[in-house]
Amino acid sequence: MNLFDVIGPVMTGPSSSHTAGAVRIGNAALDLFGRKPDKAVIRLYNSFSKTGRGHGTDKALIAGLLGFAPDNTRILYALEEAKKSGLTAEVEFAGEEPAYHANTAEVIMYHGDEKMDVLGKSIGGGRIVITRVDGYETEYTGEYHGLMTIHNDVPGVVSQVTGSLAEAGVNIAYMRLYREREGSEVMMIIDTDNHIPMEIKEILNSHPEIKKAAILNQN
Amino acid sequence: MNRSSLEELVKLAERESRFLSDLIKERESLETGLSIAEITQTMGQMYDIMLDNYRQGVESDKRSVSGLTGGEGWRLKNQIKGRPHGGIYAKAAAHAMGISNINASMGRIVAAPTAGSCGIIPGSVITLAMEYGKTREEVVNSLFTAACIGRIIAENASLSGAEGGCQAECGSAAAMAAGAGVELCGGTPRQVSNAVAFALKAVMGLVCDPVAGLVESPCIKRNGFGAVQALLAMDMALAGIDSVIPADEVISAMDEVSRAMPVSMKETAEGGVAAAPTGKRIADYLMNSGAYCHN
């Protein structure tokens, strides 16, 4: 534990789990979607639903989707900021869902025909885990640089992705693949030690077997 | 050396006749690979935000996001202006509540150690610094001592209300502030550890029972009490009073109490004043304003 985890972090109040963590779920969802959504539906569950208004959890998630950091003082004005930047956000206080963690948010993002559905939980101290992306069970924390792909389950895709990372001098820290069944689609999340150059995104997007790709660089 | 023991750190400081904060900075620099200048600068940035909060917190009676609280720090500060009673303790309490008010109205704060307890350390340490004309360097150094005390508590018990109740959150903040205050006022490392023990013992068993689950009631007032408790613990230690139970054992005892504490009293808003009839009524009222849409 770093001393600045004890005196720090700097954050917008009032709650590290219900405000700062909610911003980070929004940030992670935005990174995974890979573009600015023009519409978002946000569903808050359990404690997020019960106490979300008073903690500004709704505003925090919208601020996260706008790319605000957890210490941004404009989080309080996220609704106005969303309007200005053309994001239509709907928030539902969805009540109890026993299958979900106490602090859970579902974020459904739209841009034209594109859509992504992300489920995240805030586990305390501002730390989060994205547990589901478009139906794939995941364990993405948003603490590392990395990338995400959804690709056809055929040989060679993984080696091509890791090959282009190697060429760019990017070291892989963790790597996980999630799939429904053999031969279907696969979601891959790679955590890396280094910042990933944006050129990699072009390479991934032009690959015939890769359907979706996002670069997940952290600040 | 076991870095999770306050006793060992105190003994080392006594042996080498050095400030705790100097040892802590050196060790942090070794562990992180950052220079002492770099970590001192980062702590200085934390201090700058705390200073802003310290000044702004008592400036207005701005309401929280829920509307449940607001202006507690401002009210107390106005009440004690020019009056002899209360003195530095009441000032520290006013500032601690003011900073906590900023947190509840979605302002930018330094979690110290948490957002819910963010008023206690700056409220007490900066009040001391202002009253006794301490330099920026001295205050920033004392924040390293506070951080190290917090880390030792985190490693042997907890800093989170959800795990340990309010004793772990506001209690730890008060212990951190008390230790920092002792160093700031020229006390010995042994006195730092006594102050930590006093502050934690004062609220041993305190539950976390936020009304409607919000970091507001009773949290903001407890930040005020936490600052007073920190300064009183500091004064007792500086007066040469010894803790019967050593600080490390008090921390372990707090951990035992945390484990025995029912879940309903660990931030779930199901016990304590949160479960009082008025607490429940407020929770229902805040919850039933329906979903809203924004276009």
Residues of B in contact with A86 (CB under 8 A): none
Nearest Cα neighbor of B127 from B84, B171, B180 is B180
Q: What is the pLDDT of residue B292?
A: 38
Most A-contacting residue of B24, B108, B160, B163 (CB-CB within 10 A), to test interface: B108
Cα A166 → chain centroid: 24
Q: What is the pLDDT of residue B293?
A: 36
Residues of A in contact with B290 (CB under 8 A): 93
| A88 touches B at CB < 8 Å | yes
Domains of chain A: 3-140 (3.30.1330.90), 145-215 (3.30.70.260)
Non-local CB neighbours of A154 within 8 Å, separated by 6+ positions: A209
Q: How far is CA B130 from each of CA A196, B138, B234, rounded to the nearest angstrom?
A: 47, 12, 16
Hey, what are B84's tokens? 């002899």
Instruction: Kindly give the interhelix angle for B136-156 and B120-132, rounded to the nearest 10 degrees.
Output: 150
Please tell me which residue of chain B has the smallest CA distance to A95: B287
Helices within B157-287 (DSSP H only): 161-164, 166, 172-184, 189-202, 219-238, 247-260, 277-287
| A10 touches B at CB < 8 Å | yes
CA distance B273 to B290: 25
Q: What is the pLDDT of residue B1?
A: 64
Non-local CB neighbours of B186 within 8 Å, separated by 6+ positions: none
Task: List, for residues B30-89, the tens digit of each pLDDT value.
Answer: 999 999 999 999 999 999 999 999 999 999 999 998 899 999 999 999 999 877 777 999
- pTM of the entire structure? 0.90
Task: List, for residues A130-180, the tens digit of each pLDDT value.
Answer: 999 999 999 999 989 999 999 999 999 999 999 999 999 999 999 999 987
Angle (nearest 5°) at CA A99 between A50 and A63: 50
Q: What is the pLDDT of residue B290?
A: 40
CA distance B102 to B109: 8
* Digitized pLDDT (tens) for each residue of chain A, 219 residues in all: 889 999 999 999 999 999 999 999 999 999 999 999 999 999 999 999 988 988 999 999 999 999 999 999 999 999 999 999 999 999 999 999 999 998 999 999 999 999 999 999 998 888 899 999 999 999 999 989 999 999 999 999 999 999 999 999 999 999 999 987 787 899 999 999 999 998 999 899 999 999 999 999 887
Task: List, for residues A71-83, the tens digit of each pLDDT value.
Answer: 999 999 999 999 9
Domain boundary assignment for chain B = 6-205+213-268
Cα A202 → chain centroid: 20
CA distance B228 to B238: 15
Q: Note if the bond before B218 is cis, omega within 30 degrees.
A: yes
CB contact under 8 A, B39 and A8: no
CA atoms within 13 A on the CB side of B132: 15
Q: What is the pLDDT of residue B274?
A: 96
Most A-contacting residue of B65, B118, B141 (CB-CB within 10 A), to test interface: B65
CB contact under 8 A, B146 and A7: yes
Residues of A in contact with B274 (CB under 8 A): none
CB contact under 8 A, A88 and B49: no
Residues of A in contact with B118 (CB under 8 A): 13
Provide the pLDDT confidence category of residue B287 given band limits of 50, 70 and 90.
confident
Q: What is the pLDDT of residue B84?
A: 72
Q: What is the pLDDT of residue B218?
A: 97
CB contact under 8 A, B287 and A55: no
CA B269 to chain A, closest CA, distance in angstroms equals: 10
CA distance B163 to B174: 18
